[in-house]
Amino acid sequence: MVEGFDPDLALTEAATRFGTPSYVYFTDVIEARLAALRAAFAPWFAVSFAVKSNPNPALLGWMRDRLDYLDISSGGEFALSQQAGWEHARISFTGPAKREDELRPAIAAGLGELVIESLREARLANEIAAELGCVQPVLIRIAPDRVPKGFGDQMAGRPSPFGIDVEDAGDALPRIAAMPNLRIIGLHIYSGTQCLKPQAISENWRIFIATFGAICDDLDLSPEKLVFGSGLGIPYHPGETPLDLAEITDEIGPELDAFRAIPRFAKTRFVLELGRYLVAPAGYFVTRVVSVKQSRGTRIAICDGGLNANLAASGNFGMVIRRNYVMHRVAIVDAVDPPHEKHDISGPLCTSIDKLGSGVSLPQLEEGDLLAVHAAGAYGPTASPIHFISHPLPVEVLVTGGQLQDISQFRGD
């Protein structure tokens, strides 16, 4: 977070001007996080943003001159990237179930790299490129045979829809290399995400380095690009500690230097792909307390936005054991230390799982108060069942240099 940063004035203004529930994104925070990433990893990596984490076109447009690449995962995200003004050549396209009607317009537009995740996809892309009279650059996504402990989600080391299993690469990659309308320019691995352990991230990248080296030797490939799925996590819950990027670079930096020193990788561009790490801490989910009740000894604050607008904070987006997100009562002027009490925080839906917090210690909430859920800049409205029970859709607000802009994707009136 930016030193001395206090979001409450902007959060209050956003709620007053644009309504709630809302997502408020602070570009100053993204700018600071990107600067820290560049400072830590610039000796090795360019940066690619995973659009799936936040596909808002206004935010993507703000990123256009600040980031090196975009990674999309659907035809819809490709359209959003075009709406945001991104050049086709700076876009890669991942995803395990790409369809012909998604691939054709992307390849026709001059997509930078298609990330191949299966032989089926390679054959389809080759046919489309042949019909269009072009040769499509591709990266081959590899699924390693293990992922170190410490990652919140593992996409390899077990049966997985993502990429080509490393043990099958020796058979599959020569077959892809023989397809005349595809050109292999590199490899891609994203095998784990949401890790807060520097040693685990370093160990994961060691696996990448070994895998990339072996496959490139086998194919006699001097790659243009190698994509490292970052796995960099962010703290969501009370007591979690943010990553120290210096711990990662101190441990893995010498090995990255040695890898780059291998002649076949001298001109390779290493790319760090991430999403959540860059944007999640820059966003807040703001919801207004509609009703407060006592029920069997528990104070319950019922809000205008719940899991329908923020599935992740409700604990229903891949969380095994539900834990509260960090949240606070929005207050421009407050006592130094107002008395706190425990609250359950519920949303407006007719289901018992619509709960944003259990036993959360907050200043006493009353009707009309605003509650801000932290780390909401990634996997927000587009990862939530926003149409469930047809409550008002969440607003999205961009705060740049103190100026607020309604950038809502879903209610543009």
Q: How far, in Å, CA of 39 to CA of 108, rounded? A: 36
Q: C-alpha dihedral over 15, 18, 22, 26, to 10 degrees?
A: -80
- Angle subtended at Cα 210 by Cα 209 and Cα 215, rounded to the nearest 5 degrees: 100
Give all domains of the chain, ordered by start, each with its CATH number: 87-274 (3.20.20.10), 281-406 (2.40.37.10)
Residue 152's pLDDT is 84
Between strands 370-373 and 327-329, the pairing is antiparallel
HSE value, Cβ hemisphere, 13 Å, CA-based, for 180: 5
Q: Which amino acid is at 238?
A: P
Active site annotation includes 350: yes
Helices 100-109 and 75-83, interaxial angle, to 10°?
30
Alpha-carbon gap, residue 11 to 181, rounded angstroms:
51
Residue 332, classed as helix, strand or coil, is coil
SS3 57: helix
Q: Report the pLDDT value the prediction gives residue 150, as an integer from 0 to 100.
A: 84
Give the model confidence (pLDDT) of 56-75 as tens digits: 999 999 999 999 999 999 99
Residue 233 CA to residue 246 CA, distance in Å, equals: 14
Q: What is the pLDDT of residue 139?
A: 98
Taking Cα atoms as reference points, which of 208, 214, 172 lies closest to residue 188?
A: 208
The answer to whether the CB of 281 falls within 8 A of the CB of 377 is yes
State the distance between the two ends of the chain, measured CA to CA, in whole angstroms: 32
Q: Sort 79 into a burial class: Cβ within 10 Å, 0-12 / 13-18 / 19+.
A: middle
Q: Is the dihedral of CA 34, 37, 41, 44 positive or negative?
A: negative
pLDDT at 413: 45
- DSSP state string for 145-159: S---TTEEEE-SSSS
Q: What DSSP designation does 312 have?
A: T
The helix or strand, by DSSP H or E, that contains position 27, with its residue range, turns out to be helix 27-41
Write the single-letter amino acid at 202: S
Query: Distance (Å, rounded) from C-alpha 357 to C-alpha 373?
Result: 10
Instruction: Kindly report the average pLDDT of the chain as a whole number.
Output: 94
Count of alpha carbons within 13 Å of 1, Cβ hemisphere only?
A: 14
Whether the link from the prior residue into 223 is cis, omega within 30° of 0, is no
For β-strands 355-363 and 340-346, DSSP reports them as antiparallel
Q: Is the dihedral of CA 357, 358, 362, 365 positive or negative?
A: positive
Closest C-alpha to 397, from 49, 53, 20, 63: 20
| Torsion angle of the four alpha carbons 70, 71, 74, 80, in this order, in degrees rounded to the nearest 10 | -10
Beta bridge partners of 213: none
Owner of token pair 């240099």: 401
Closest CA to 16 of 404, 336, 411: 404
Q: Which residues of the chain have pLDDT under 50?
A: 413
Query: At residue 253, what are phi and psi to the nearest 5 degrees?
Result: -55, -50
Q: Three-state DSSP class for 52?
A: helix
Q: At what angle do helices 245-260 and 198-219 cross, to 10 degrees?
A: 20
Residue 232: DSSP 8-state = B
Residue 267 to residue 261: CA distance in whole angstroms? 10
- pLDDT, tens only, 346-404: 999 999 999 999 999 999 999 999 999 999 999 999 999 999 999 999 999 999 999 99
